[in-house]
Amino acid sequence: MEIRDRTPDDLGACTKALAEVQARDRYPVDWPRDPARWLTPDGMVRAWIAVEGEAVLGHVALTRDMEVTRLFVTPDARGRGLAARLLDTVRAAVETPLKLEVSSEGTAAIAFYERSGWRRVGSSRARWLNAAGEPALVYHYVSPPNTSRI
Query: Along the 150 residues of the chain, how does pLDDT read in single tens digits?
Result: 999 999 999 999 999 999 999 999 989 988 999 999 999 999 999 999 999 999 999 999 999 999 999 999 999 999 999 999 999 999 999 999 999 999 999 999 999 999 999 999 999 999 988 888 899 999 999 999 876 543
Q: What are the angstrom distances between the C-alpha of 85 and each of 1, 14, 56?
A: 11, 17, 14
32 neighbors 52 (Cβ within 8 angstroms): no
Q: Where are the beta strands (DSSP E) in the chain?
A: 2-5, 44-52, 55-63, 67-73, 99-103, 119-129, 135-142
